[in-house]
């Protein structure tokens, strides 16, 4: 049975509760102590009637200044701001006759807030109607503006609730006991890189913003793809990748090379495949077809577009294992006229908020500035992050990928498959270095083999233009 719309509410004038507004104000005039129950929920603009907005604003100003707010002091406040023609003693006395219970005051505040949000939604719908009628503006731009209008209401609709330490400790002990008994559901998803997972105490956790930085060609996209595919396979959940640099077909080719262990050049050129490659292709195809890994290759997205698309992904596929954004430098600001540093700050803060909202980790890929190439070891540090300090500030974890052989091809062959991952920032742990293996022909990161020594020989080897030793 379909719910029917209450047509009496279609007019904006009907979207308010006179009783709730009056009862709330009357209670505050009689007991200023109730302010603490409603001050975090309401703003004066949430009231429908202008006189009610003025009264609530005056009550708040008096209480926050440490003064008593009653019928007479509020009226004096009205006279000082020359609004006593709108709010007189008679109006205030009438409000003071409402005496709701203290328990009801919070509920009245929530009702007033709910109606305020509904009026804003109706105003937004009217604006969206106007945008849709502007034929001179492209549909994509119109859709972006409409999305921004609705998206802004998501955060306004939330009310922060305090949690007591007692409640938090009880929940913590319940989780610890469940983990000790082996009955707990993990609050992390393993990346498949054993040493990295160990340093992260299991793997990335919900709500974390994880930055992966590197110079071009070091393999940050390959690392994110390796971890994302493993997380999708192990968790059975969806993984979304915003691939603003590579088209979908290229991401798929890399995923096939990664899973089949066949050289990427043969994947890209089918005529180069050998007969013995086909069993691996078939097996990899079966695995990839069963993985819920989704790719969006639209370029130049801003944070509102990423947020809207990610929310849609969550609605269609349920809780996500992770989200990958490749990469920060290709994202646009909502206002392209703003300086780039402000656009970056807008993006990083938005992605951190989105990670908490979606309840999944977000991997944000970043290119580093050229300063790293001036150092002897060329190992990136936090200061190498481009454009804005907000990247470092907003991230829970910052990791840097470095491949010595890529930076210095004259090194001996023992360095060819060696990669170093620097966990430079770890909000809940100790930073450190991790040894990894990178197989370039498969664009695959893996654990460094335990039986293989870490390369130490820095002696350069002369090579021909084709890379062969002389």
Whole-number Å distance between alpha carbons of 221 and 254: 10
- 3 state SS of 103: helix
How many C-alpha atoms does 415 have within 13 Å on its Cβ side?
18
Q: DSSP class of residue 2?
A: P
Q: What is the mean pLDDT of residues 64-88?
A: 87
> What pLDDT was estimated at residue 208?
93
CA atoms of 174 and 1, how far apart (whole Å): 41
Q: Looking at residue 464, what is its pLDDT? A: 41
pLDDT > 80? residue 149: no
Question: Containing H/E element for 126?
Answer: helix 102-132
Which two structure tokens, joined as six digits, stand for 275? 């007969």
Neighbour count for residue 78 (Cβ, 10 Å): 22
For the segment 59-77, the average pLDDT, to the nearest whole number, is 88
Q: How much is the pLDDT for 195?
A: 93
Task: List the single range of 5-14, 151-160, 349-358, 393-402 with lowest mean pLDDT.
Answer: 5-14
pLDDT at 469 exceeding the cut of 50: no
Buried b / exposed e along 95-115 (16+ C-beta atoms within 10 A): bbebebeeeebeebbebbbeb
What's the pLDDT score for residue 458? 55
Which pLDDT does position 155 carry in this prediction?
62
In sequence order, the β-bridge partners of residue 366 are 213
What size, in residues, is the chain? Answer: 470
Q: Which two tokens stand for residue 457?
A: 């020989």
Interior angle at CA 384, CA 381 and CA 387, nearest 5: 145
3-class secondary-structure state, position 207: coil
CA nearest neighbour of 281 among 305, 263, 295, 304? 263
Q: What number is the average pLDDT over the span 259-278?
A: 86
Closest CA to 145 of 155, 131, 157: 131
Contact in structure between 343 and 391 (CB atoms under 8 Å): no
- Helix, strand, coil proportions of the chain in percent (round to 5)? 50, 15, 35
Would you place residue 377 in the very low, low, confident or very high pLDDT band (cuts 50, 70, 90)?
confident
DSSP 433-445: EEEEEEEGGGTEE
Task: Give the pLDDT band of residue 421 (cuts 50, 70, 90).
Answer: very high
SS3 377: coil
Could you tell me if 344 and 393 are in contact, meaning their C-beta atoms sit under 8 angstroms apart? no
In angstroms, the CA 26 to CA 94 distance is 8
Domains of the chain: 9-156 (1.10.860.10), 185-447 (3.40.50.300)
Return the minimum-mean-pLDDT range out of 3-17, 119-133, 175-189, 320-334. 3-17
Q: Say how far apart CA 398 and CA 364 lie, in whole Å.
A: 9
φ, ψ at 296 (rounded to 5°): -120, 115
Question: What average pLDDT does this structure show over 336-360?
Answer: 89
pLDDT at residue 470 tops 70:
no
Which one has a higher pLDDT value, 328 or 372?
Answer: 328
pLDDT confidence of residue 253: 92
318 within 8 A of 238, measured Cβ to Cβ: yes
For residue 212, give the 3-state DSSP assignment.
strand
Mean pLDDT of the chain: 84
Question: pLDDT for 249-262, tens place per residue?
Answer: 999 999 999 999 98
Q: What is the pLDDT of residue 204?
A: 93
* Residue 156 and residue 170 in contact, taking contact as beta carbons nearer than 8 Å: no
Distances (CA, A) of 87 to 54, 55, 82, 100, 275: 8, 8, 10, 22, 88
CB burial of residue 232 (10 Å; 0-12, 13-18, 19+)? buried
Give the range among 238-242, 304-308, 360-364 with minimum mean pLDDT: 304-308
CB 214 within 8 A of CB 398: no
- Element containing residue 35 per DSSP (H, E): helix 35-38
Instruction: Identify the top-confidence range among 102-106, 115-119, 271-275, 413-417.
Output: 115-119
**Nearest-5° angle of CA 304, CA 310, CA 312?**
105
Strands 320-326 and 209-214: unpaired
- Give percent of the chain with pLDDT exceeding 90: 28
Picking from 291, 193, 181, 192, the residue whose alpha carbon sits closest to that of residue 239 is 291
Contact assessment for residue 224 and residue 363, using Cβ atoms and an 8 Å cutoff: yes
Instruction: Give the pLDDT score at 463.
Output: 40
């Amino acid at each position: 049975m379909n719910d029917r719309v209450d047509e009496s509410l279609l007019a904006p004038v009907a979207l308010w509760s006179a009783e709730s507004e009056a009862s709330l104000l009357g209670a505050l005039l009689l007991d200023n102590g109730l302010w603490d129950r409603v001050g975090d929920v309401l703003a004066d603009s949430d009231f429908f009637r202008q006189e009610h907005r003025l009264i609530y604003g005056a009550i708040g100003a008096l209480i926050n200044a440490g003064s008593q707010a009653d019928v007479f002091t509020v009226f004096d406040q009205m006279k000082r701001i020359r609004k006593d023609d709108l709010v007189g003693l008679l109006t205030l006395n009438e409000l003071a006759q409402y005496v709701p219970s203290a328990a009801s005051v919070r509920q009245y505040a929530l009702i007033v807030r709910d109606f305020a949000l509904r009026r804003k939604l109706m105003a937004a719908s009217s604006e969206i109607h106007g945008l849709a009628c502007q034929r001179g503006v492209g549909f994509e731009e119109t859709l972006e503006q409409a999305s921004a209008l609705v998206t802004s209401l998501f955060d306004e609709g939330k009310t922060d609730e305090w949690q007591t330490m007692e409640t938090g400790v009880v929940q913590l002990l319940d989780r610890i006991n469940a983990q000790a008994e082996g009955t707990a559901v993990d609050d992390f998803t393993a990346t498949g890189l054993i040493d990295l997972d160990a340093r992260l105490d299991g793997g990335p956790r919900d709500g974390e913003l994880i930055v992966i930085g590197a110079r071009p060609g070091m393999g940050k996209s390959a690392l994110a793809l390796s971890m994302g595919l493993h997380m999708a396979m192990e968790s059975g959940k969806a993984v979304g990748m915003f691939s603003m640099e590579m088209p979908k077909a290229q991401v798929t080719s890399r995923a096939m090379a990664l899973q089949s262990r066949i050289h990427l050049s043969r994947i890209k050129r089918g005529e180069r495949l050998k007969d013995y490659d086909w069993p691996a292709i078939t097996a990899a195809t079966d695995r990839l077809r069963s993985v819920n890994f989704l790719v969006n290759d639209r370029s130049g997205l801003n944070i509102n577009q990423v947020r809207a698309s990610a929310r849609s992904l969550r609605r269609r596929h349920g809780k996500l294992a992770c989200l990958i954004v490749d990469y920060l430098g290709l994202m646009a600001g909502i206002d392209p006229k703003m300086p780039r540093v402000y656009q970056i700050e807008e993006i990083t803060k938005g992605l951190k908020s989105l990670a908490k909202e979606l309840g999944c980790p977000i991997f944000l890929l970043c290119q580093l500035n050229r300063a790293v190439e001036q150092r002897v070891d060329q190992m990136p540090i936090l200061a190498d992050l481009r454009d804005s300090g907000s990247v470092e500030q907003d991230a829970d974890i910052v990791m840097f990928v470095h491949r010595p052989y890529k930076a210095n091809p004259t090194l001996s062959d023992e360095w060819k498959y060696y990669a170093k991952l620097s966990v430079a920032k770890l909000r809940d742990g100790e930073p450190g270095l991790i040894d990894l293996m990178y197989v370039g022909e498969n664009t695959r990161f893996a654990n460094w083999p335990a039986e293989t020594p870490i390369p130490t020989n820095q002696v350069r080897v002369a090579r021909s233009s084709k890379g062969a030793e002389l």
